[in-house]
Amino acid sequence: MKKTSTFIFILIFTLFIQYSYAKELIIVFGDYDSKPYTFLTNQTLSGGIIKDIMDEIGVELDIKIKYVNIPSKRVSNFLLEGKVHVRLITNPKWFKNHKQFYWSTALFHDKDKIVIRKKDSVLINTIRDLKEKRLGTIRGYKYQILKDNNIIRDDVRTLQSNFKRLDRGIIDALIHSDILISYYIKRNQVHTKYITLKEIASTHSIHAMYTKNNLPISYKEIDAAFIKLKENGTIQKILDKYK
């Protein structure tokens, strides 16, 4: 009887360990997540804001976190089908089908700002000065200032590409996240080459989006973990780390 009880205990414990290990939260990222949101080593996510935040979520929820690199065009379908579970650094307003996903509370707020070459500062001081000028934008993103100011949109995939085109005079200015702009200028030590306009193009909240299919745990549990990290200052400390 004792041997049977011991065997049953070992079996249950083994199954529990296997089940716990099998549970994993799959996080999607890609080249649309510029530095410092992601840092890659041999095409593997090795650091950055996304990894730092989600690693903390893994600790809070006691769940394995897996990161997969997915092209932007496939992200929505992969989430809808439950092939991946979470995308960080996004906003429901950016998706026509946003009701097909769960959304986290606002994790933090970001601003879109305009960058010009310092030598162009005599001609461009405000967003209105960009009328009929070419603005470097990111493919797939919406910008309200384009509708309001008769500005010419010129798409690329990355912020780095826009800085290169700005240097060569292909575009007159670029627009992007204040977090990413500040990091790029600091990392490349190009403070003397560019000016960031004081006027803010837009402000938006940053969220995580969750699949409604095959989540290994409740989205409410994930959201509760995000709220805890926000309220105890962990998310802000991570953002400050990359300033």
Alpha-carbon distances of 147 from 38, 126, 138, 178, rounded to whole Å? 31, 16, 16, 21
Q: How many CB atoms lie within 10 A of CB 184?
A: 20
Residue where the block lists tokens 């919406």: 142
Q: How far apart are CA 110 and CA 203, in angstroms?
A: 6
| Domains identified in the chain and CATH numbers | 19-108+206-241 (3.40.190.10), 110-204 (3.40.190.10)
- Residue 16: pLDDT over 70: no
* pLDDT for res 17: 40
Does residue 149 come out as left (phi exceeding 0), alpha (psi in the -120 to 50 range) or beta? alpha
Closest CA to 92 of 104, 107, 79: 104
pTM: 0.84
Residue 84 · residue 210 · CB < 8 Å: no
pLDDT digits (tens, 9 = 90+) for 48-93: 999 999 999 999 999 999 999 999 889 999 999 999 999 999 999 9
**Which residues, at least 6 apart from 138, have a Cβ–Cβ distance to it below 8 Å?**
32, 155, 156, 157, 158, 159, 162, 176
- Residue 209: pLDDT over 90: yes
